[in-house]
Amino acid sequence: MRRQNDKATALSYLERAKDQAIHADSAALGHVLQLLAYTYSDVGDATSFERTISEGTDLLAYAGEGRDVVKKEFTPFEVNEIRGKAMRDLGKPLDALPFLDLAELSLDTANSVTPRWRALLEISRGQALCDAGDIVAGITVISKGFVLAVQCHSRHQMDRVRKYLRKLENSPARTHPRVQELKALVTEMYLRIDDGIH
């Protein structure tokens, strides 16, 4: 329902799931709270987001409780990246940047880091900078993240950039030279991939 942009229905389902998971194990409840927090940020409910993400990450993040249910441990990188994304969704891009910085620090101390995480982080940081009005710095960072996404074959992260580019092209920033540079980069890379050139 979230992906179909039906936020009200998603909230209804997830709030019922929370009620049903209240007697389940910590990992199951934490996972439901994580999804519910995302949806609160989608609808701009900052108070409910903060309360719910704190509850969810307390259950999942540092005790390893999430491993059996979600097949992986919920890492500090993910916690901070989620908070950064939520701040952008709530219209507070400058508040997103400290969380993204913390996410980067957690990568520097992690035992193993997937290249996709680096791409995701740079793209998120660049979007926050653009949303805050710093188009030059933002597009520089988004471009770096996009190239990393291409290198690690992360189509999802590449598509995030393409979707954000469409948003920029429909904004007052559309005539900015850096927006045109990003469009040229994205177009070239997708053409190279479609032609089988890596």
Q: Which of 8-12, 73-77, 128-132 has the lowest mean pLDDT?
A: 73-77
pTM value? 0.73
Q: For residues 38-61, give the mean pLDDT.
A: 81
Cβ–Cβ under 8 Å, residues 74 and 34: yes
Q: For residues 162-190, give the mean pLDDT.
A: 94
Position 135: which residue type? I
Position 103: which residue type? A
pLDDT interval class at 75 (50, 70, 90): low
- Choose between 144 and 81: higher pLDDT: 144
The b/e string for 60-96 (b: 16+ C-beta within 10 A; e otherwise) is bbeeebbeebeeeebbbbbbbbbbbbbbbbbeebebb
Instruction: Judge whether residue 13 has pLDDT over 50.
Output: yes
Q: Which tokens is 146 given?
A: 């996009």
Q: What is the tens place of the pLDDT at every residue in 134-166?
A: 999 999 999 999 999 999 999 999 999 999 999
